[in-house]
C-alpha cells in the first residue's frame, strides 16, 4: 500500500529531499494524508494531492492534477492569483483560476480537433511530484513531470523567492515532428480588471477574438467588458505589467521562449454563462498569459526541446 502511494505521489526511495517524508509517511495512513518536507506539505484536497509551501517569504499551493498553481501569496501581501470558488475538481475537467497549463497545444488540436481536448492534455492530467526543497532563507522549489504516450516529456519547475515566482515549462524529447504551442493561462487577481493598466503591449499587433468586444483604452491598455486578444509578436525581452492603483500593487511579467501574450476576461455577460466562474467575481481577475500561439508556427522535430519561462514579481506602487 505504501509503495503504491509513493508511486502515485511521484516519489522514489532514492529521492534525497523526500527521504524523511517517506519515512514519516510509513508511520500512519490517514484519510486526509499530510506529510512534511520541511515547510513543504502534501495533502489530499478535493481528491487530488496538493503541495503547499509556507515559509517566511509566503505561501504557494500546487495541485498535482494539472501541475496547477492554485495560489501564491507573498508574505504580507495579497493573493496574486484568482481561484474560482466554483471550480470543479474532477478528472477530465480543467480547474478555473490559478495557472492552467495549456500544452502541448493551445486552442484546438492542430490536426484532430474533434477527438482531442481544447488546450491540450497537461491541465487535465495527473503529474508526478518529483522534487521539493527549501532554503533557510525561505526560498522554495517544486518540480513536476508529465510522461504521456506519444507526447514529449513535460517538466514544470517553480521557484518561490521574495516577492517573486519563477516558472519554467520544459518540453523534452519530441517523439516525432510536431506542431507545438503552449500557454501559462494565468488568472491574476485584481481589484477590478476594468480599472487596471496593462503596460508593455503598446504598439504590439493583436487579434481580437471577442465578437462583442467593447472599445478599450490603449497605451496603456485598460480592459472593458469582454476582451479576448492574442498579441503577436511581442518581443520576449519586453516586460508586461499590471498596475493596480486601488490595491497599490504592480505585477511584472518577464518571459523567455514566448513571443505571444493573451489577454482575456469574459466580461459580466460572458462570465454568467460559465458555470465554474463564481457568480459576481468576473471583475476580480484578468488573464494575462505568456504563450506560444499557433500563429507562431513553431515546430519541434524528433528529439528537440523547448523551454518557456515566466518570472512574476510583485511591487508596491
Pair (93, 157) in one structural domain: yes
Pair (134, 78) in one structural domain: yes
The pLDDT, as a whole number, for residue 18 is: 37
pTM, two decimals, is: 0.88
Pair (24, 82) in one structural domain: no
Pair (24, 152) in one structural domain: no
The residues near 226 (Cβ < 8 Å, ≥ 6 apart) are 210, 212, 213, 214, 265, 266, 267, 269, 270
Pair (46, 31) in one structural domain: no
The pLDDT, as a whole number, for residue 21 is: 39
The pLDDT, as a whole number, for residue 34 is: 43
Q: What does the block give as the cell for 2?
A: 505504501
Q: What does the block give as the cell for 38?
A: 520541511
Band the pLDDT of 143: cuts 50, 70, 90. Answer: very high
Q: What is the pLDDT of residues 98-117, one digit of tens each?
A: 999 999 999 999 999 999 99
Pair (207, 292) in one structural domain: yes
Band the pLDDT of 39: cuts 50, 70, 90. Answer: confident
Pair (142, 286) in one structural domain: yes
Give yes or no for residue 31 having a pLDDT over 90.
no
Counted domains in the chain:
2
Pair (105, 241) in one structural domain: yes
The pLDDT, as a whole number, for residue 244 is: 98
- Distances 233 to 143, 173, 286, 296 between C-alpha atoms, Å: 30, 26, 20, 8
Tell me the pLDDT of the chain averaged across its residues: 90
Pair (95, 17) in one structural domain: no
- Say which residue, 276 or 33, is predicted with more confidence: 276
Determine what percent of the chain is predicted with pLDDT higher than 70. Answer: 88
Q: What does the block give as the cell for 47?
A: 481528491
CB 262 within 8 A of CB 169: no
Give yes or no for residue 51 having a pLDDT over 60.
yes
30 Rama sector, left if φ>0, alpha if ψ -120 to 50, beta otherwise: beta
The pLDDT, as a whole number, for residue 144 is: 98
Q: Tell me the mean pLDDT in the region 39-67.
A: 96
From 4-8, 58-62, 138-142, 172-176, the region with the lowest mean pLDDT: 4-8
Pair (281, 157) in one structural domain: yes
Band the pLDDT of 154: cuts 50, 70, 90. Answer: very high
From 2-16, 152-166, 178-192, 286-300, the region with the lowest mean pLDDT: 2-16
> Residue 229: how many CB atoms within 10 A of its CB?
20
Q: Tell me the mean pLDDT in the region 187-209.
A: 97
Pair (123, 7) in one structural domain: no
Rounded to whole angstroms, the Cα distance separating 44 from 24 reads 16
Pair (23, 94) in one structural domain: no
| Chain Cα centroid distance, residue 218 | 26
Band the pLDDT of 248: cuts 50, 70, 90. Answer: very high
From 8-17, 134-143, 262-271, the region with the lowest mean pLDDT: 8-17
The pLDDT, as a whole number, for residue 181 is: 98
Rounded to whole angstroms, the Cα distance separating 284 from 192 reads 5
The pLDDT, as a whole number, for residue 165 is: 98
Domain of residue 233: give its range: 38-316
The pLDDT, as a whole number, for residue 214 is: 86
Amino acid at each position: 500500500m505504501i509503495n503504491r502511494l509513493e508511486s502515485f505521489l511521484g516519489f522514489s526511495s532514492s529521492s534525497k529531499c523526500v527521504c524523511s517524508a517517506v519515512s514519516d509517511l510509513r508511520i500512519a495512513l490517514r484519510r486526509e494524508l499530510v506529510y512534511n518536507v520541511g515547510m513543504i506539505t502534501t495533502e489530499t484536497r478535493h481528491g487530488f494531492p496538493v503541495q503547499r509551501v509556507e515559509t517566511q517569504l509566503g505561501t504557494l499551493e500546487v495541485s498535482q492534477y494539472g501541475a496547477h498553481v492554485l495560489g501564491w501569496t507573498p508574505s504580507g501581501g495579497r493573493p496574486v492569483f484568482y481561484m474560482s470558488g466554483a471550480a470543479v475538481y474532477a478528472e477530465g475537467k480543467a480547474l478555473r483560476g490559478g495557472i492552467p497549463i495549456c500544452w502541448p497545444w493551445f486552442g484546438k488540436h492542430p490536426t484532430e480537433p474533434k477527438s482531442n481536448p481544447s488546450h491540450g492534455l497537461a491541465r487535465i492530467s495527473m503529474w508526478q511530484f518529483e522534487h521539493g526543497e527549501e532554503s533557510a532563507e525561505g526560498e522554495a522549489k517544486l518540480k513536476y513531470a508529465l510522461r504521456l504516450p506519444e507526447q514529449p516529456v513535460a517538466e514544470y519547475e517553480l521557484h518561490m523567492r521574495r516577492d517573486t515566482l519563477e516558472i519554467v515549462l520544459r518540453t523534452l524529447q519530441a517523439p516525432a515532428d510536431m506542431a507545438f504551442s503552449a500557454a501559462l493561462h494565468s488568472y491574476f487577481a485584481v481589484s477590478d480588471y476594468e480599472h487596471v493598466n496593462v503596460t508593455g503591449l503598446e504598439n504590439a499587433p493583436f487579434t481580437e477574438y471577442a465578437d462583442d468586444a467593447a472599445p478599450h483604452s490603449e497605451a496603456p491598455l485598460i480592459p472593458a467588458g469582454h476582451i479576448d486578444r492574442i498579441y503577436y509578436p511581442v518581443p520576449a525581452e519586453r516586460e508586461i505589467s499590471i498596475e493596480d492603483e486601488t490595491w497599490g500593487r504592480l505585477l511584472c511579467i518577464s518571459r523567455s521562449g514566448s513571443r505571444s501574450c493573451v489577454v482575456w476576461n469574459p466580461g459580466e455577460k460572458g462570465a454568467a454563462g460559465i458555470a465554474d466562474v463564481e457568480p459576481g467575481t468576473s471583475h476580480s481577475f484578468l488573464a494575462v498569459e505568456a504563450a506560444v500561439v499557433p500563429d507562431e508556427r513553431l515546430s519541434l522535430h524528433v528529439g528537440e526541446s523547448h523551454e518557456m519561462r515566466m518570472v512574476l514579481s510583485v511591487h508596491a506602487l
